[in-house]
Amino acid sequence: MPVRDYPPLPVPRDSAVESDSRRRFLNAVTLLGLGVHATASAEGAGGSSQFPLRRHSLRVNGGRFSVLDHGNGPAVLFCHGFPDTALTWRQQMRAVAEAGYRAVALDMRGFGRSYSPSQASLYSSRHIVADFVGVLDALKIRSAVIVGHDWGADHAQRAALMYPKRFRGLVSISIPYSPRGDIDAWEAIRRRGLGDRYYALDWLKPGAEAAFKPAASSIRSILYWASASPPSGQRWDPINPDLSILRPAPVALPTWANNDYVIHTIRNFEQTGFVGGLNYYRALPISFAELSAFKDAPITQPSLYVWGGEDGLCRFFHPKPPELAELRRTQPNLIAQVRLDGVGHWVQHEAPERLNAALLGFLKQLGSA
């Protein structure tokens, strides 16, 4: 779950020097995608007989990526966060497929069955975005709407900046967009005097993954405390260590959680561990340095922002609900923001029907590719 800094919002620049810098950066990202090829093999079917769920193992950027593929039509690429896998999107993928779209979701780098290098430097935005582009290339998809939750939203936003022609629309869930400022987010947190309080700074330390063992406990804790299920005043607060997200959960499952999904997630992290997921936090300063060409850059594609009104992370990002005009300062083509009352961080699980309605409405407004 990333943190975002909210620096002053100057007018975006478009100088020749900046344009050249962006070209050099994108050339570097493109090089990561060289040699992409698919060895896509179906692993059986799920979903319905009309819309079978296809499973692929794709060779992308030097590693194998596990990808779910559902339906046919204009593509929608789903990107998950921490701690999660592509299966988190099962309800959204079915809705999208039934509405006439092709839903694609990957186990992100470091998660599930996908490529999981140990070095934190290989989890920066240029690598993650190259994974997205590589998956589209392997599936011969020319362009897609990109949908992200948590870290998936953060990197989906970077993808929209770097490849505006490949990603024709953006849906950010639980993470509002903020352009790159003058200092990285971790440094901004420290300068606010929150260095001893903000949850994620503990996760940067060597060996921090030990706090997440056993997975059967930590996964249930994170799902419960970050949701709207706990009583008000007991929910996760990112800057209050007494309201830690890793406290033992008082219930085996929140009422909204699907048991099969929870067991799947636990088993995946029992196999992979948490180093890959925590590397997203550790790579943030590297991404900041890499993205200098995109300083103050707005996202210009049609966009949608969806967030849970009881999400402690969103309350930290914007203590007061943001006005649409404010959000449009950095996303001038933001079609809408959707606040879901009574919902926490796990929007896709806590309020799937409301999220699906917002998503399908947005896709309808965009039209075909």
Q: What is the C-alpha to C-alpha distance for residues 180 and 286, in angstroms, rounded to an integer?
A: 12
| Tokens, residue 182 | 């003058």
Output phi, psi for 317, to 5 deg. Answer: -65, -45
Verify whether residue 345 is a known catalytic residue: yes
Cα separation, 204 vs 3, whole angstroms = 13
Tell me if residue 341 is catalytic: no
150 is catalytic: yes
Residue 25 contacts residue 7 (beta carbons within 8 Å): no
Rg (CA), the chain: 19
Q: Biggest alpha carbon distance in the chain?
A: 57
Contacts of 62 (CB under 8 A, 6+ apart): 35, 115
Instruction: Provide the edge-to-edge strand list for the sheet that holds 37-38.
Output: 37-38, 53-60, 63-70, 102-106, 75-79, 144-149, 167-173, 303-308, 334-340
Which amino acid is present at 292? S
Token pair recorded at residue 131? 């994974």
Residue by residue, DSSP assigns 85-152 as: -GGGGHHHHHHHHHTT-EEEEEPPTTSTTS---S-GGGGSHHHHHHHHHHHHHHTT---EEEEEETHH
DSSP letter at 11? Answer: P
Rounded (to 5) percent helix, strand, coil in the chain: 40, 15, 45
Catalytic residue among 281, 305, 311, 349: 281
Question: Among 5, 150, 154, 184, which one carries the catalytic annotation?
Answer: 150
Report the alpha-carbon distance of residue 165 to residue 305 in Å, rounded. Answer: 20
Q: Which residues are catalytic?
A: 150, 281, 345
